[in-house]
Amino acid sequence: MIPFLLSPEGLSRGMGRLFRGRSAAVGSPARQRGDSLFCALGGDSRRPCLEDIGAHERAGVPPGVAALEAAGLAVAPRGVAPPVLRDVCLRLPIGSLAVLAGPNGCGKTTLLKTFAGLLAPVAGTARVHGAPARCGNPRLARLAQRPQVEWAFPVSVEEAVLAGRASCLGWWRRPGAADRGKALEALRRLDLLPLSKRPIRSLSGGQQQRVLLARALCQGADVLLLDEPFAALDSHSRGILETFLADAPACGLSVLLTAHDLAGSSLRFTHAFQVRDQRVVEQPA
């Protein structure tokens, strides 16, 4: 399953698992109020903190292991020569908030795709929590700049976020109170509770971005790769996203985001990098 992205395949499969074969069409039993598996996040008075959302998924990382690490990395998408990136060396400890800057086409997205396991290195290594980068890693979520999302899918914001639990539940388990609690906290952190019952097809671009992030949190991802996350956001969504990212390191989340330049952001980054001449150069944060 495409990790944490509301792609037509990923969302359909995730919703299919959680509905256990029931139709998600408007007016079907699974969509009726009171019968939906995702109705009523209430009933669980416990309000988990952000650390609780993916606590079991984060277990087992040895001390000192980096969230993201590249050594001598070279990447040539689709066999392009010379490589788009070469001799990339970086290390982001757990709890980092890092920015990767550079103009369009310099290789920023290529690096994110490599850590997400979507592109294979031609030299060197890319590691996530000490293990080779692989596609489908449940600990990592990549949000593309222009995600291929089927926003016409007939589900609510609440249902879309709760679908993030699919890979944790497997094929036969239904989401329980703990899963709904994780969805509730993710919705709250991204200021989506007032929109929880709204169809995802009615959302603005900024609201869609926040739904994708909330779904990643709900699934338990603790490494976030964000490709130009502030592009075309309205001021309200930008403020919510900046607040969320500012709090992320204290909650044990590790974030690498891309931007055109290092100026114009109120965020205090722990690490800053710039792509120059196919290499990644560290800058003062």
For the chain, which residues make up each domain, given as ranges? 8-283
Note the CATH number of domain 8-283: 3.40.50.300
Region 150-166: what's the mean pLDDT?
A: 88
Q: Is 218 helix (H, G, I), strand (E, B) or coil?
A: helix
| Residue corresponding to tokens 């020569």 | 81
Least confidently predicted of 12-21, 84-93, 113-122, 230-239: 12-21
Tell me the per-residue pLDDT of 65-79, one tens digit each, with 9 for 90 and over. Answer: 999 999 999 999 887
Region 102-111: what's the mean pLDDT?
A: 92
Rounded-to-integer distance, Cα 261 and Cα 155, Å: 37
| Residue corresponding to tokens 């169809």 | 199
Least confidently predicted of 13-22, 69-78, 155-164, 255-264: 13-22
Q: Using an 8 Å Cβ cutoff, are 54 and 252 in contact?
A: no
Least confidently predicted of 55-59, 177-181, 185-189, 242-246: 55-59
Side-by-side strand order, sheet with 68-75:
85-92, 68-75, 123-128, 131-132
Q: Which of 87, 65, 226, 201 has its CA nearest to residue 145?
A: 226
Q: Which of 60, 252, 68 has its CA nearest to residue 142?
A: 68
Tell me the per-residue pLDDT of 161-192, one tens digit each, with 9 for 90 and over. Answer: 988 887 777 667 788 788 888 999 999 999 99
- Give the strand pairing for 68-75 and 131-132: unpaired
Q: Which of 116, 125, 91 has its CA nearest to residue 270?
A: 91
Question: Does the predicted TM-score (pTM) go above 0.75?
Answer: yes
pLDDT for the residue 11:
46
**Phi (first) and psi of residue 237, to 5 degrees:** -65, -35
Does the pLDDT of residue 99 top 90, yes or no?
Answer: yes
The alpha-carbon radius of gyration of the chain (Å, integer) is 19
Dihedral Cα 37, 39, 40, 43, nearest 10 deg: 0
Rounded-to-integer distance, Cα 194 and Cα 248, Å: 22
> Which residues contact residue 14 at a Cβ distance below 8 angstroms, ignoring those fewer than 6 apart?
1, 163, 164, 166, 167
Q: Where are the alpha helices (DSSP H) in the chain?
A: 8-19, 50-53, 108-115, 157-162, 166-169, 177-189, 205-219, 235-247
User: Band of the pLDDT at 197, cuts 50, 70, 90?
Assistant: very high
Region 232-255: what's the mean pLDDT?
A: 91
